[in-house]
Structure 1
Amino acid sequence: MENTWLAHAKRLQAIASTGLHFCKDDFDRERLEEIAHIANSMLAQLGNVPVERITGLVSDFAKRYSTPMLDVRGAVIEGDRILLVRELTDGCWALPGGYADIGLSAAENIVKEIREEAGLTVTARALYSVTHKAKGLYKPDTRDFYKLYFLCERIDQAQPVAGFETTDVGFFSLDDLPPLSRGRTIESDLEAAFAFHRGETTHTLFD
């Protein structure tokens, strides 16, 4: 669960962004720009980073109605082991996935991500979890995300191979996990995948 002040700062930033997109009055625009500056300063202080880094993360600021970003992740389970990839950015491990690309469905996106990050051709069998990142035990993020988790199955016998954004790939059991990239994947994501795979859970989890 994210820090209350982080949640407030993100909400203020979103309100300012949406307000500036629709704003027609110069005086209101000035007030909204001040709110945006305060929000960005708070986020920079909370993250201990320059304010320019915060503003750079929101490339569509004031260009549309502000909504959460979308992250898709895929679980491929074989026996008692689950597929993980080692991230190039932090050297830790996660379920394959990433930002959803425009023009593809959520399921098509995760099929593409697993092919690019792990070299496997899969089909998306079920959506087992939809999570608001801010409400989970993930590493805090100044951006807001919905995370969609799919249970996937291999449709070929290719050997896993790392892609451009990953440095390694492998299957791991729950009792022998490598260090997780905690902004992307946490233990409960993997446990939920196994529960769905085994039929212990039959409905999509959401918060």
Structure 2
Amino acid sequence: MEKQWLKWAKELQAISQAGIEYSKDKYDIERFQQIRDLSVEIISEYTEMEHHKVKDLFANESGYQTPKVDVRGAIFKGEEILLVKEKLDNKWSMPGGWADVGLSIKENVVKEAMEEAGAEINPRRIIAILDRQKHIKDDFPYSIYKVFVECDYIKGSHIGNIETSEARFFRTDNLPELSIGRNTKKQIDLCFKSRAKDVFETLFD
């Protein structure tokens, strides 16, 4: 279950963000900003993240707050899946990241595969749309929908970039240490399960 302090901080952030966007009275806007600052203080205090970093990541948007979208490509060649090694933690994940505005899910996964793995791919179908907090138990402040897309590998080779240090194919029984915040073993197993079936019903929370 999500920690109560984190739940409260996220609710305060959502309320304050909407209030700042839609309030007309300058004094109300000021009060909502104070509530937003308080939500940042709570996150910073309990996670030991620097205040400015929490503010940049957690309270940097305007308008009505909605979940972020993280798109992951389950890229297969034969019976192996393509993973990339993240420079941030030296652990492995399926290529992917935040969905860019102006790009579709398909366009996003194609872009991320090329940028992070140097891979040309053909997206086939959506495997699952999962609520991150229901599958990964940590103190992450965002609400995130994770979209897993099954893809065929066409060709490519890893290109040097700021996010990943290498790209390799792995069998399901020989996975490396995973970057759990990005994908779990259970989620990768789900992708292999999808790959083995001609017809697979999309899963969602």
CA shift, 1:146, in A, is 1.1
CA shift, 1:171, in A, is 1.0
SS in 2 for 1:72: strand
- 1:169 corresponds in structure 2 to 167
CA shift in 2, pair 1:188/1:138, >3 Å: farther
Identity among equivalent pairs (%): 36
CA shift in 2, pair 1:138/1:176, >3 Å: farther
- 2:71 corresponds in structure 1 to 72
Contact 1:20–1:29 (CA<8 Å) still a contact in 2?
Answer: yes
C-alpha separation between the residues in 1 aligned to 2:53 and 2:110? 31
C-alpha separation between the residues in 1 aligned to 2:137 and 2:116? 21
Contact 1:72–1:149 (CA<8 Å) still a contact in 2?
Answer: yes
| Aligned pairs, number | 204
Alignment of 1:45-60 (within 5 A): 45-58=45-58, 60=60
C-alpha separation between the residues in 1 aligned to 2:138 and 2:168? 23
- 1:4 corresponds in structure 2 to 4
SS in 2 for 1:178: coil
Alignment of 1:1-207 (within 5 A): 2-58=2-58, 60-61=60-61, 63-137=62-136, 139-156=138-155, 158=156, 160-164=157-161, 165-199=163-197, 202-207=200-205
CA shift, 1:5, in A, is 2.3
CA shift, 1:194, in A, is 0.8
CA shift, 1:174, in A, is 2.2
CA shift in 2, pair 1:121/1:107, >3 Å: same
TM-score (norm 1): 0.90
TM-score (norm 2): 0.91
C-alpha separation between the residues in 1 aligned to 2:137 and 2:183? 7
CA shift, 1:197, in A, is 0.8
Gapped runs of 5+ residues in structure 2? Answer: none
Contact 1:13–1:39 (CA<8 Å) still a contact in 2?
Answer: yes
Q: RMSD of the TM alignment (CA)?
A: 1.9
Contact 1:138–1:185 (CA<8 Å) still a contact in 2?
Answer: no
